[in-house]
Each structure stands twice: as C-alpha cells, then as structure tokens.
Amino acid sequence: MELTGEPIRVQSIIQSGLSQVPPEYIQPPQNRPINTDPTATIPAIDLFNFNTNHRNSTLESISHACRGWGAFHVTNHGIPPSLLDAVRNSGLTFFNNCPMSEKLKYSCTAGTAASEGYGSRMLVSSNDHEVLDWRDYFDHHTFPLSRRNPINWPDFTSDYREIMVNYSDEMKILAQKLLALISESLGLQSSCIEDAVGDIYQNITVSYYPPCPQPDLTLGLQSHSDFGAVTLLIQDDVGGLQVLKDGDGGDKWVTVKPLSDAILVLLGDQTEIITNGKYRSCVHRAVTNPDRARLSVATFHDPAKTVKIFPVSELINDSSPAKYRGVVYGDYVSSWYTKGPDGKRNIDALLLES
Ligand SMILES: O=C(O)CCC(=O)C(=O)O
Ligand SMILES: [Fe+2]
C-alpha cells in the first residue's frame, strides 16, 4: 500500500543474496522485536459448529477473550480444513513459483491506498523516518460483489481464483456469525454490530514474509490494529504473528502459535468504537526469521467508506458515557494513511473527554 515511488519487492532483495537488510528496513531500537512473553497463549474457543447447546458457554468465552485480548482462535468453525490448506497453498505457490516478472504484472497502483494487487510496504508517508516492512502481499477485493473481479487475481495455478472466491464467501458468512456472537456476548441483539457496520466490505490480503538475514532489527509488519470491524486470519506453521497484551508488568508481545485448522479472530477499531470500548481492538505485528518464508491470509470485514460509525446507544448510560465521537469510516482510514499509526493507536484521536 505504498503511495509513492517505484515499488521494491522484499522477495527481490532477498533473491539478490544480501546478507544485511537495507537501512530503510531497520527499526529504531524501541520498535525492534523484543519484550515477548513466551509463557502466555491467546484463548482458543471451540465453536462446536454453532451448536446451540453450547451457546452460553461460547458467549462467555467470547466475552472474556474480547475484553482481555481483542483476539482469539476459533476451532470447529465449520470451514473445511481442506479449504484453508488450499488457500495457503495457492498463496505460497504464487509467491514461491511465479516468476517475479509475472508477479509484477499484478502490481497494485502506486498512489492509491489499499489498491488491489501485488505490493509491498504497509503504509507510507511523507515522513522520512518511515521504516519499511519486510513483507510482500497480494490484496484481493472480494465484497461487495461489485468490487470482486477475479480477473485481477493470479491464475498461476488454474484453480487460484475459484479457491479465493470460495474462501471469500465462507469467510464472510463466518464473520457475520462471529459478529452476531460478539454482539450477543455484550447482551446486544445479535444483529447489532452488523447493523452498525452495514454492507460488509471484504478484502483478502495474502502476506508473504521472505526469510530475513537480520530478524532482530526488522519487522515483517509494524505494530498496528486493523481499522475495520473484524479480521479472520490464517497462517502457516512458520509463526511470527504477535499480539500486544497488557498485564501487571506492562504491555508484552505474545506470539500467536500456529494452531492447525484454527482461524484467528482479530477485533478491529470499528468494533471498539461500536462497543464503546467494552471490547478493544487488538494491536499486533509480524516478526521475521532467518530460515523460512512465512505466509498469512488476512480477511478484513469493514464498513463502506461513507458509513458513520459511533458507539451503540445500548452501551451508553450515566455510568458508561460515550467514549468515542462518531467517525465516517472513510475519514478514519484516510487519517491512518496520512499519519500512519506512529506508535499511537489511531482510534485514540476519537476519544472524548471524560
Ligand atoms: O501476517 C500476519 O500474521 C499479520 C497480517 C496483518 O496483520 C495484516 O495484514 O493486517
Ligand atoms: Fe493486521
């Protein structure tokens, strides 16, 4: 999602045989991947295929995970493991086997935020101190259907587009079911959060993190929270995703250990606003390693750019006044692209005085 300049793919840097990362990928000391807590594990919630007999205990687990982490794994979610594998394999085959000259034909448009296609760098700015991510990605526009045009996606493997379409459909249904459970876990009508979001805009980003010769100095993806409603993420067995967890001894980074066939649910900033801060969006980042390329697939579910998001009235009262001012989603996204997260959660700009 780089907005300016000639794109450089991280994979081509590594293919050139460099033993040190170029200076623009070196993080300042305070952002380097230290301060990890090896003992903590993010919650895993068994959805029992949405069997209503388990609903109450599931709601309780969701409430707990959303308050404490803003992230949790789900198992028995109803998506066939073969589809998760097919998506991972299709992504890996594209990044590993498709020649760079072919991949570049899909380059996303420079100068346009979140444009569809093959790219690198998470964000931009006019800020000279910007540090780049050790990551390449492919972004797919998938919902509403008017945005979905599989002709823009790779066809390096003959079933790539079909698999992505299938995955997109399944993820949207799962996201809707999860938003219903998340609403109910707050005592709200099951449609509450989805009603606030409106028509779901879905993007699927396949991220590829090449091996990095200096993982202690770099980040695959800098610290951020996703700005939409909910992200569903799968990764391969390499590992490298970390979530920020608060605790008595201060904030610590916790590695999300790959859990076979599970899907990671990450709450985004709009869910934090809608729930008036009862549930927090999850701050996360990706670290690199020197040995193996890593792949993840993040499916974002967001409001339309024109929708105004604000805390739902049911969660506002005298003892819990509105915490955030309303924001037009498109304005929220543009402010992020203009300023970048810059160590501060973007959402904090919306905090009302209490
Ligand atoms: O690669 C990962 O695990 C994280 C990806 C991510 O956070 C994103 O694309 O927003
Ligand atoms: Fe993210």
Compute mean pLDDT per 10 residues along the chain, 354 residues long, and list them: 60 88 94 87 97 97 98 98 98 96 89 84 60 95 98 95 98 98 98 98 98 97 94 97 90 95 98 97 96 98 98 96 96 80 69 74
Q: What is the pLDDT of residue 33?
A: 92
Confidence at residue 125, expressed as pLDDT on a 0 to 100 scale: 54
Give the residue whose CA is nearest to atom 6 of ligand 1. 298
CB contact at 8 A, 220 and 133 = yes
CA–centroid distance, residue 203 to ligand 2 (Å) = 12
pLDDT at position 2: 39
Taking the complete model, does pTM exceed 0.80, yes or no?
Answer: yes
Domains and CATH numbers, the chain: 25-349 (2.60.120.330)
Q: Quote the pLDDT of residue 321.
A: 97
Residue 152: per-residue pLDDT: 96
Calpha distance 93→138 (Å, rounded): 13
**Cβ burial 88-115 (10 Å sphere, 16+ → b, else e):** bebbbebbeebeeeebeebebeeeebee
Q: 267 C-alpha to center of ligand 2: Å?
A: 10
pLDDT of residue 224: 92
ipTM of the assembly? 0.99
Residue nearest to atom 8 of ligand 1 (CA): 298
Q: What's the pLDDT score for residue 4? A: 45
55 and 62 in contact (C-beta within 8 Å)?
no
The CA distance from 106 to 350, in Å, is: 36
Pair type for strands 230-235 and 294-302: antiparallel
- Centre of ligand 2 to C-alpha 266, Å, is 8
